[in-house]
Each structure stands twice: as structure tokens, then as C-alpha cells.
Structure 1
Amino acid sequence: MNAISRQRHADTATLPVGSDSSGTPFSLTANLLRFFSHVHYENLAAGLSGGVISTMVLHPLDLVKIRFAVSDGLTMRPQYDGMVHCMKSIWQLEGIRGLYQGVTPNIWGAGASWGLYFLFYNAIKAYTQESRQTELSAVEHLVSAAEAGILTLCLTNPVWVTKTRLVLQYNADPSSKQYKGMLDALVKIYRHEGIPGLYRGFVPGLVGTSHAALQFMTYEGLKRDCNKYKKMPSEALLTPLEYIAMAAISKIFAVAATYPYQVVRARLQDQHNSYNGIADVIMRTWRNEGFEGFYKGMVPNLVRVIPACCITFLVYENVSRLLLGQYQ
């Protein structure tokens, strides 16, 4: 492409995808180049740091949440009277190692998910904001977060399937467990179930992108309103307590609105029961357990995700600004 063509390419980058003023299909490549110009790997590193730290601290609560989410009355499952009883039972049976079953894929999954999510979200947000003086609306934040969530899920779903399978191994004897670790689980799932096995729960996971979209829309709105109240720029650095409060509020709102999809997804990924798709999970859960069945494990989930979210967002906001040279 010569200099004149490159200039025309740049000048027509905002035209509809697939054509410029003379009908030449330049715009798709131009739009991709503009998008990638907004990709900052500092956001990936910062999101990964937040996800890994929060997961290492709070994984036992995630394990408890998943065990309650799949608790559908099967006699082979351990029976727990509550969160404390569940954790005590696992501790007595398997020790600290039992409470950290599935931690490896959880660290990989949480680190990769948060890192990729913040990478995609900030790039999409900056691309949408490009050449505009006005701030993004709540709906635009919602759409940006949903798009970032879909991209992230496509890359990380096999890791979440692996994590679910590992935390649902109830036998204390390592030699009798179906999976020996993350890699072994990935290989066995692929060997016996193929690609569809690695993408079990993908459709409810897509529904779950609404969870993150609602959370980010709320979080961004709270940050903007707080800075407006303080008469500061919308992206000004806030105090740690303010970030924690906003992360907690946005997470509670998102969980309350979308939790049932997590139950459906966990049950589809569970190796101890067999469902014929999402509709079968929903009908059997409703028939056997009623409305409450869709909210099993929500309390341990909230106990886990609220501090996890606060840690992740606090680490992300500070590490990203430090890496991007915006820390003042």
C-alpha cells in the first residue's frame, strides 16, 4: 500500500465496515488496527495479579459454593449442614489439601479471566470513546463489558470445566480419584468427551456475561458519580476504601440478578450427574428443589465473591496505574 493509499485508509477508518468513499474494502483492517492500538498489556498484568491474589486467599469458599450448587439429593454426595460444617468435614477428611482441591485451574482460570477481561474491556471502552468528548453512557459500559466477557469466556471455558470436575472429587484417597490434577483432567475430558466436554456450560456461561456486564456498568457509574461529587476528573484515582465499597456494591447487585445461571452451569459441568442440556437442568431443578434450588450455594458464594471482588479491583486499579505511569 503506497503513502496515498495509507492516508486514504486512515481518513476513512470511521466509515462503515467493508467500504470507503470509493467502495474499497479497507475499513475492517483499519478498525482492527485502531482497536489493537488501544490494547495495553499492563491491564492484562494488573487484572491477572488481582485474580491470582484473590483466588489464593479465598479458594476454599469457592469449593464450598460449588459443592452446595450441585447438591441435588444424590446419595453419593456428602451431606453438609452449612458452610462451617462443610469446611470442617473437608478439613477432617482431607486436611488443608482438601480445601484447596481444584486451586490450580482456579488460579489459572481466575488469573486469565480477570487479566483478559480487563484487557478486552479497556480496549473496547477506549475504542468506543475514541474521538469523543463525552463520557460513555451506562448502556455503552454494559455493552463493552458484555463483549469483553464473551471473548474471555471463549478462551477460558475449558479451565472452568476442569476446576469444577476437580472440586467435585469427594474421595479422600488420591489413588481412587478420577483426575490427578489440572492437566490430567484436561486430557481425560478431551479424550472421553472431546471439544464439547471442554465447553460444557458454555451457553449458561454466555448468559453469565450479563453478570460481569451489570457489575462493570454499576462499578463505572459509581466511580463516575463519586468523582463528580468530589469535583474531580471521572478517571481520577480514588481511595482504597472507596474502591472496596464500589466493588462490593456492584458485585452484590450483579450476583442477586444473575446467580441461577451459576447453578445451571455447575450442574452441567458436574461429572456425577447427566443432563440433556440447559432446559433439562432447569426443569429437573425446579421439579425436585423448587425456586430455592436455583440459589443453592449463594450465601457461600457471596461470602467469597465480595472480598474476592474487592481484592481484585483494588489490586487492578493500583497495579494498572502503576504500570501505565498514571499513579500519583
Structure 2
Amino acid sequence: MTVRCTVLSSVSDGLDLRPKYTGILHCMKSIWHQEGLRGLYQGVTPNIWGAGASWGLYFFFYNAIKAHHKEVRQKELGAAEHLLSAAAAGALTLCLTNPIWVTKTRLVLQYSTDPSQKQYKGMMDALGKIYRYEGVAGLYRGFVPGLFGTSHGALQFMAYEELKRDYYKYRKMQSDAKLNPFEYITMAALSKIFAVATTYPYQVVRARLQDQHNTYKGVMDVGRRTWRNEGMLGFYKGMVPNLIRVTPACCITFVVYENVSHLLLHR
């Protein structure tokens, strides 16, 4: 439910006719009154596909790259190696999933300010129309800030790995020992909050580039206009609902991943 509020908040530059919200509760209430329950779940299909594909591909690429580094170095990896492995995994994942995130943004940003604006019936309809009217370039809008955004995953995984390593040392445990769910949740939440607080501005820039209701010349144009019209706070619009949305999902993902990994390795 917070997906749409997050994106609308991040692209709201105060200068157009898009809906204005004072906060996440006001956003949800307004959408409920205007569009009902369906409005709160607009864009949920590509978000599910995008999140599932992104996490799956990310873990696959990350573990493969990390294993390669370990084989070459023949010793425990440090923060720099974890950072580089996660950044490379993020770039590879983005190359495959960017069209899904463009579709999600377009579906979320459908509202009745311009009757002539192309409307999308669903994920596949949006993908088809974006490709038909804008070509491959349309499906890869926001790709450049998305590449900068790989720093988000890189910082998160680096922080997560370092927290785990320090915790194992503190508890005098083996580096492959299994922890309880609460311990995984705590480390996942802390690493996610750290990554979001550090890299959130790129998400605002990326969402605004993908927004069909406004036209920007590029990343620098978004940055200049955001700074001129909204100041520093403009780059952090929607961060609170974003944290509320992504942190629980991140914690669940890491707990499931760690437990399934241990189960498969022991088998």
C-alpha cells in the first residue's frame, strides 16, 4: 500500500497538477476515497515481479562474484571486497530488471490530470505501450541513476556482512554458524536503514526521470530543478514511507535467505 505513496511523494515537485499529500496517512486516505482499495495496490504486480527477480538475481550474482574473490584471494573477504562484489551484482541485476521498475513507476503514477495521457491496463500493457511509443530507451529510463543506485545494495550488503563478522567475533562463533531469526532481522534492518539514509536521493532522481507527467533533460537537469525548487529536502521526499515499506521486506528476505542457505548447505 505504501508503494504508491512513496513514489508520488518522491516525484512531487510542487510545480505541477499532480496530487499533493501532507504525509503517508493523508496519501493513503486520499487514494482510498478517490480510487478505493484498488488504487492502494496500483503497480503491485510489477513490484512483486521486480522485487522477486531483483533479489533472486542479486543473491545469485553476489554469491558467485564473492566466491570468485575468495578463490582468488584464498582468505576471508574484507569490507572493500564485499562492497565491490555487491556493486557488480547490482549493476548486472539492474541491466535485467530496469524495464520492470519503469513499468511499476508508470502504473503507480496514473492519475486523472490529463485525459489525453496514455493509460495502462496492467503490467504487460504498460511494457508493450512503453516499447511501442518510446522504444528500448523508454524501458531504460532512469538507468543511469539506477547504476549509481547500485551503491545502495553495495552499502547494505557491506554493512550486513561486517555486522555479521563482528557479531561472530563478539560471540566467538564460527563464521558459518547459524543465528536466530531476531539476530538476522536486527542486522538486516540496521544495514537497510544505513543504506537508505545514505543513497535515497538517487531514488528520487530516478523516479522523476521515469515519471510520464514531467520531462527532464537528464540526471543533471533533475538535480538542478529539484535543488532550485525544493532545496536539500526535495532529495529526501518519501523516505519515511520508503523505509516503512522496504525494511520489513528486507528483514524477511534475509531471514529466509539465511535459513534456506543453511538448509541447502547442510544437505
* Same structural fold, with TM-score higher than 0.5 when normalized by the shorter chain: yes
Name the aligned partner's letter for residue 107 of structure 1: I
Choose from 216, 228, 231 the match for 2:169: 228
Provide the C-alpha distance between the structure 2 equivalents of 1:194 and 1:131, rounded to a whole number of angstroms: 41
Within the alignment, does 1:295 sit opposite 2:257 as a pair? Answer: no
Name the aligned partner's letter for residue 145 of structure 1: A
Root mean square deviation, CA, Å: 1.5
Within the alignment, does 1:209 sit opposite 2:150 as a pair? Answer: yes
Which residue number in structure 2 is paired with residue 5 of structure 1? none
Q: Percent identity?
A: 74
Deviation at 1:100, TM superposition (A): 0.7
Provide the C-alpha distance between the structure 2 equivalents of 1:73 and 1:248, rounded to a whole number of angstroms: 32
Which residue number in structure 2 is paired with residue 219 of structure 1? 160
Provide the C-alpha distance between the structure 2 equivalents of 1:105 and 1:207, rounded to a whole number of angstroms: 22
Q: Matches of residues 89-108 of structure 1 in structure 2 within 5 Å? A: 89-108=30-49
Q: Secondary structure at the match of 1:136?
A: coil
Q: Which has the larger radius of gyration?
A: 1
Q: Matches of residues 107-186 of structure 1 in structure 2 within 5 Å? A: 107-130=48-71, 132-171=73-112, 178-186=119-127
Which residue number in structure 2 is paired with residue 194 of structure 1? 135
Within the alignment, does 1:61 sit opposite 2:25 as a pair? Answer: no
TM-score for both structures, normalised by structure 1: 0.78
The 1:321/1:96 distance shift into structure 2, 3 A limit, reads farther
Deviation at 1:262, TM superposition (A): 0.3
Provide the C-alpha distance between the structure 2 equivalents of 1:291 and 1:132, rounded to a whole number of angstroms: 42
Deviation at 1:134, TM superposition (A): 2.0
Higher mean alpha-carbon deviation, 308-317 vs 154-163, is at: 308-317
Aligned residues: 264
Deviation at 1:319, TM superposition (A): 2.3
Q: Is the 8 A contact 1:169 1:177 kept in 2?
A: no
Please list the CA deviations of residues 141-175 of structure 1 after superposition, one character each: whole Å capped at 9, or x if unmatched. 00000000000000000000000000001249xxx
Please list the CA deviations of residues 21-40 of structure 1 after superposition, one character each: whole Å capped at 9, or x if unmatched. xxxxxxxxxxxxxxxxxxxx
Which residue number in structure 1 is paired with residue 18 of structure 2? 77
Provide the C-alpha distance between the structure 2 equivalents of 1:85 and 1:209, rounded to a whole number of angstroms: 31
Q: Secondary structure at the match of 1:77?
A: coil
Provide the C-alpha distance between the structure 2 equivalents of 1:153 and 1:61, rounded to a whole number of angstroms: 22
Provide the C-alpha distance between the structure 2 equivalents of 1:158 and 1:177, rounded to a whole number of angstroms: 18
Please list the CA deviations of residues 255-286 of structure 1 after superposition, one character each: whole Å capped at 9, or x if unmatched. 11111000000000000000000111001111
Provide the C-alpha distance between the structure 1 equivalents of 2:139 and 2:253, rounded to a whole number of angstroms: 26
Within the alignment, does 1:254 sit opposite 2:195 as a pair? Answer: yes
Deviation at 1:131, TM superposition (A): 6.0
Choose from 278, 287, 291 the match for 2:219: 278
Which residue number in structure 2 is paired with residue 31 of structure 1? none
Provide the C-alpha distance between the structure 1 equivalents of 2:44 and 2:260, rounded to a whole number of angstroms: 23
